[in-house]
Structure 1
Amino acid sequence: MASWKTGAVGVTAAVVAALGIVAPAQADPRVNGEIGYAYEYRYNGPRGFLGQPLTSEIRTPNSKGAYVAFQGGSIYWSPWTGAHELHGEIRNGWGRLGWEGGILGFPITDEGATSSGRGRWQDFEGGSMYWAPWSGAHMVRGDIQETYGNVMCSYDCGFGEDVLGFPISSETRTPNGRGAYNHFQWGSIYWSPATGAHPVYGAIRDAWAGQGWENGRLGFPVQEEHVWDEDYVVQQFEGGFIGFTPGYGAEIFYGRYLPQECC
């Protein structure tokens, strides 16, 4: 990484020079290059939430990037992702998954607030971490993350926290080894290569769970729940469907299939 403090060749250094920006006198000599630039000009240096550096720049164990630890978090850098801060519970959750050597890889954004303002999120090479005070920090990735993002697209096209809430588990392999799932505050998303990722919630989810989740005769969901006829809501699974009405509750029909629309 080129150091903006020493004037070494680099795009960042050139931009700083062109703008006539002078590196602050209090810049810590242990923090340089792209990490140093981000620390001083994006995160406000030692005056910001990261505080003072605790280490010099350290090469990551996988040799793909570098990081510096600070009082209030870390900054991680790689040539293809750039430099991004991590702090708090999202950083801790990412660390439990193996840091940059784990399934999520390096951060590709800084931490930000969710659209509702009730929690926080951060994107990584391999997925995202979501955090709220009542749910903790959990990973969502791949097709499950795409479904989570699109589950309310007909209403808001935002991430599905208003329908499913925040994740309360990271993506987990199903006990039968055929797929994966995330549990959320108000439902779940289940995925398998054969069926794709589909949300399950409410009374239909309760009935499906009661017959053994994906290990029961119904297997994995193959579509989202939808209104089939007036107030009759149905959801198709591999081995049948579950129908729900407010008056009768949820009822399981094994080995039967319904068209997408009634009549």
Structure 2
Amino acid sequence: MSWWRKRPYRSIRSIGIATGVLASVLTAAATVAPAHADRGVGGEIGVRYDSLGGSGGFLGEPLTGEVRTPNARGAYVVFRDGSIYWSPATGAWEVHGAIRDTWGRTGWEGGPLGFPRTNEVRTPDGRGAYNVFEGGSIYWSPVTGAHVVRGAIRDAWGDYGWEGGPFGYPTSSEFDIPGGKRTNFQNGWIEWRPTGITMAAESGVPGCPAPRWGASPTEAVTCLMRAWEQRRGDVMANHTSNALVGEMLEWDVAPYTFEGCERTADPITQTSAGIECSVYFPPVPGDGMIHGVGVYFGIGLYDHGAWIEDFETIG
């Protein structure tokens, strides 16, 4: 990586140039020269800086030249309103605002998050922003502030739709609990222990938290029924394994995943609710095929009993 950039130079060959002409030449030279050249902002950091508008962008003027990071793995430049960090493995990315402050409290690039892997990105709902780092992410919204999400907790949160899912934005960074770690969210929490992940969140279906691993079959069937009434296929899928598969089926292959559930148009009886769910198994090594079943469930409208009506092979 280039550690400096030559300052543009224009020679004046005529000794007899008038003072006014000389001033014009110097002014033109200053115009041609990048505003940040005298600070030595070059290489990939300079390219990133220019792509963000240079001194006229949101980062503003550079306050430092390019500085080696203490771990000697990369470099950075501090600007008026943020920083750009670079390493050979990650490239050059900007970090600013509350996300940068939170990253700094974790130890910058020398902490568990490592170097940034993205610029600050707006979330799809338009309510917040995030940066992805080597070891996790920091998510921010004006309501919740900026918090670190990482490891298995981040993976589980992502499986349920990130900030757009039932959990919403994180309201805490990861913290210690007896035997594990926990992160709190707007609508629930996710905990990690060596034995696995546990979680709870509000689903938007009254009286039915989702996802809720460990729900009893009775609790899960109740949630299935309420979610069926509201056509909430995501909530039905979150509880199907507890309600039916774990109790009524014995799969020879695991793990399996529910990709979603829908109301069926024609339940077998007038007193039952029909639910169709797609269950997928891992591909067989060397096969490459998608394997699974479409499972058709019946749930009693009055007694909330549950039963399996039919199967359909997928793949």
Q: What TM-score do you get using the length of structure 2 for normalisation?
A: 0.57
Cα displacement string for residues 100-153 of structure 1 (whole angstroms, at most 9, x for unaligned residues): 11110000011101111110011000000000001010000111111111114x
What corresponds to 2:173 in structure 1?
170
2: CA distance, partners of 1:4 / 1:75: 15
Alignment map for 1:110-121 (pairs within 5 Å): 110-121=119-130
Structure 1 residue 59 and structure 2 residue 62: aligned?
A: no
1:137 to 131, 136, 146: 146
Shift in alpha-carbon separation, 1:32–1:172, aligned structure 2, 3 A: same
Give the greater-gyration-radius structure (CA).
Answer: 2
Quote the residue 1:72 is aligned against: 81
Aligned residue in 1 for 2:200:
200
For structure 1, the 5+ residue unaligned runs are 7-22, 153-158, 204-220, 235-256
Report the secondary structure of 2:92's partner residue: strand
Distance 2:220 2:148 in 1: 37
Alignment check: 8 A CA contact 2:82 2:100 kept: yes
| Counterpart residue type for residue 222 of structure 2 | Y
Distance in 2, matches of 1:80 and 1:73, equals 21
- The one-letter amino acid paired with 1:69 is V
Aligned residues of 1:121 and 1:130 also touching (Cα < 8 A):
yes
Runs of 4+ in 1 over 3 A off after TM superposition: 3-6, 224-231
Could you tell me whether the CA contact under 8 Å between 1:77 and 1:83 is conserved in 2?
yes
Contact 1:200–1:225 under 8 Å retained in 2? no
> Is 1:35 paired with 2:45?
yes
**Residues 170 and 184 in structure 2, CA contact (< 8 A), matched pair in contact too:** yes
Aligned residue number for residue 10 of structure 1:
none
Is the Cα contact below 8 Å between 2:62 and 2:80 reproduced in 1? yes
Are 1:232 and 2:233 an aligned pair?
no
Q: CA deviation at 1:60?
A: 0.8
Assess, with a 3 A threshold, how the Cα gap between structure 1 residues 54 and 160 changes in structure 2: closer, same or farther.
closer
CA shift in 2, pair 1:117/1:258, >3 Å: closer
Identity %: 45
Structure 1 position 182 matched with structure 2 position 183: yes
Residue 37 of structure 2 aligns to a residue whose secondary structure is: coil
Determine if the alignment matches structure 1 residue 2 to structure 2 residue 2. yes
Distance in 2, matches of 1:224 and 1:32, equals 55
In 2, Cα distance between the equivalents of 1:227 and 1:110?
45
The total of aligned residue pairs comes to: 199
Counterpart Cα distance in 2 of 1:146 and 1:110: 20
Root-mean-square deviation (Å): 2.8
TM-score by length of 1: 0.68
